[in-house]
């Protein structure tokens, strides 16, 4: 069977075609990585850091061509594609020095002639599964720190982005990462699932990282749990943006436009529902609808807000989600809903809509708790619009669906900011900023239906790819028993002035 990758903005353009691997192919790739790990772990961590530095410089040198491939293979606008590759560079720049900072501790002992230490040790081999919406940035959040810490990596990227994935892998190898230390293999979901079960059973994998849907994340959590492993899970979101009555409405509209419809709404941090206070609801609604109606959609190589959906499958899922719209809700924002075609046109569309998987931007007004669209991650150019009367109500609406990835509040009132921050369940909170836009040195991840509390990025991800080892060294020449042979100095408990 072939895995065929097509340009989603021009489906006549075949980007690449590869032979789909078998379950055994994936298992053997994992075995190679597992066997290569010990030698890689023996390379001094500062030297591994210099490899990451070399990878970063090569990513920088190839930034334009890699970004162009991102635009061609998954349809991301070129400006966003450049930003995505820059995040890979930023991640390398952050971690290149961590090879000199994989600190442990020297800890005092309660007994003489004894020293205590802690060390970070690599977990072993990591099996990383990533989605197609961020085909370079998100993989780097796993791969770069995993390699730096002395692990080998098997990377299973999305089937929609094989050309990007193999190009990125070639840059890692050119930077000095041994080929068997980073093995990339593109496989379908069923093959990956069967192979993952086998490599866990054979103890070839010690860490699983997954970015994708909550449903698949649950299945991976169950599978790894049977092997007493804790996966790193970055799952879906239904990210709320709360607009208080003192908000800067210009800023709200700009942030909600980017958060809701950038990358065609295909980000895990895309805006789910725009919740607006009753006092300014009508004005925010009017201005937001106007901005969405006038946004330019089309050819991702041009100056547009967003281009196509990533694939036919993503477009089909978006159209299924449009079927969740209920009778009390109203659609706004475009000249139609669903797929943009010659017979269902979008005003101001750039290019030929028939050539790719393009979808209308859609605002669904009237979202209420309990609606299907209230707690369904839609992952497409669809934003809910609802209203609230108090911050307490807004917080309840922001948390009620059980997702906890990203959230935003627009206000200049510090009391409202701190109340929202302390009460909202999301792992990431923005103030007067979009729900999207992670920086490479902050922890990224969510809670509840959005993840298991694990984090990517920054120093926090080191805990995903290392294990703490405690060492005690007794050079007293005799057995000293903790909590028993403890030195007690004399004191006078009856002393009084």
Instruction: Take residue 307 and report the two structure tokens written for it.
Output: 């281009």
- Is 149 tagged catalytic? no
92, 149, 232, 268: the active-site residue = 268
**Could you give the CA distance from residue 281 to residue 18 in angstroms, rounded to a whole number?**
51
Kind of pairing, strands 382-388 and 362-365?
parallel
* Site of tokens 């007690």: 488
- Max alpha carbon distance in the chain (Å)? 96
- Is 197 tagged catalytic? no
CA dihedral 163, 165, 167, 171 (to 10 degrees): 180
Q: Look up residue 334 and give its DSSP letter.
A: S
Helical H runs in 299-438? 312-322, 391-399, 414-423
What are the angstrom distances between the C-alpha of 70 and each of 35, 61, 82, 395, 446?
32, 16, 9, 37, 26
Residue 462 CB-half CA count within 13 A: 20
Do 457 and 442 touch, CB atoms closer than 8 A?
yes
73, 80, 159, 234: the active-site residue = 234
CB within 8 Å of 137: residues ≥ 6 apart? 84, 85, 87, 88, 91
Instruction: Take residue 173 and report the two structure tokens written for it.
Output: 């190898």
Do 23 and 80 touch, CB atoms closer than 8 A?
no
Q: 1: burial class by Cβ within 10 Å (0-12, 13-18, 19+)?
A: exposed
Instruction: Take residue 380 and report the two structure tokens written for it.
Output: 């497409």
Which residues are known catalytic residues? 234, 268
């Amino acid at each position: 069977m072939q895995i065929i990758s097509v340009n989603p903005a021009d489906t006549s353009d075949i980007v690449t075609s590869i032979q789909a691997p078998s379950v055994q192919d994936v298992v053997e790739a994992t075995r190679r990585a597992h066997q290569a790990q010990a030698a890689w772990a023996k390379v001094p961590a500062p030297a591994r850091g210099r490899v990451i530095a070399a990878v970063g410089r090569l990513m920088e040198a190839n930034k334009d061509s890699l970004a162009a491939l991102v635009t061609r293979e998954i349809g991301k606008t070129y400006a966003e594609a450049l930003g995505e590759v820059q995040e890979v560079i930023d991640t390398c720049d952050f971690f290149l020095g961590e090879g000199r900072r994989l600190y442990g501790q020297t800890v005092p002992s309660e007994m003489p002639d004894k020293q205590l230490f802690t060390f970070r040790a690599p977990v072993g081999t990591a099996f990383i599964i990533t989605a197609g919406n961020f085909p370079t940035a998100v993989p780097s959040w796993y791969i770069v720190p995993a390699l730096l810490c002395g692990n080998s990596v098997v990377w299973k990227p999305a089937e929609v982005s094989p050309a990007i994935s193999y190009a990125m892998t070639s840059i890692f190898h050119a930077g000095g990462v041994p080929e068997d230390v980073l093995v990339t293999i593109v496989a379908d979901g069923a093959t990956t699932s069967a192979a993952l079960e086998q490599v866990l059973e054979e103890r070839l994998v010690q860490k699983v990282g997954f970015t994708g849907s909550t449903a698949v994340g649950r299945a991976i959590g169950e599978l790894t749990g049977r092997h007493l492993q804790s996966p790193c899970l970055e799952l879906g979101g239904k990210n709320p943006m709360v607009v208080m009555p003192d908000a800067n409405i210009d800023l709200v509209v700009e942030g909600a436009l980017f958060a809701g419809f950038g990358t065609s709404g295909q980000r895990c941090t895309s805006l789910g529902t725009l919740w607006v206070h009753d006092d300014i609801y009508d004005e925010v609604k009017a201005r937001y609808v106007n901005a969405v109606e006038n946004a330019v959609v089309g050819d991702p190589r041009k100056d547009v807000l967003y281009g196509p959906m990533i694939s036919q499958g993503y477009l089909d899922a978006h159209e299924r989600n449009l079927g969740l719209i209920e009778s009390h809700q109203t659609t706004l924002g475009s000249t139609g809903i669903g797929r943009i075609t010659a017979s269902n046109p979008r005003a101001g569309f750039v290019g030929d809509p028939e050539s790719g998987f393009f979808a209308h931007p859609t605002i669904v007004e009237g979202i209420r708790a309990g609606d299907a669209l209230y707690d369904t991650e839609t992952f497409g150019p669809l934003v809910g619009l609802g209203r609230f009367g108090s911050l307490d109500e807004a917080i309840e609406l922001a948390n009620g669906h059980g997702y906890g990835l990203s959230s935003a509040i627009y206000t200049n009132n510090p009391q409202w900011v701190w109340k929202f921050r302390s009460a909202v369940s999301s792992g990431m909170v923005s103030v007067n900023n979009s729900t999207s836009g992670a920086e490479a040195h902050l922890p990224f991840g969510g809670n509840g239906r959005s993840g298991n509390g694990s984090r990517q990025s920054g120093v926090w991800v080191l805990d995903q790819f290392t294990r703490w080892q405690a060492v005690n060294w007794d050079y007293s020449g005799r057995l000293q028993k903790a909590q028993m042979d403890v030195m007690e100095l004399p004191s006078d408990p009856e002393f009084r002035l």
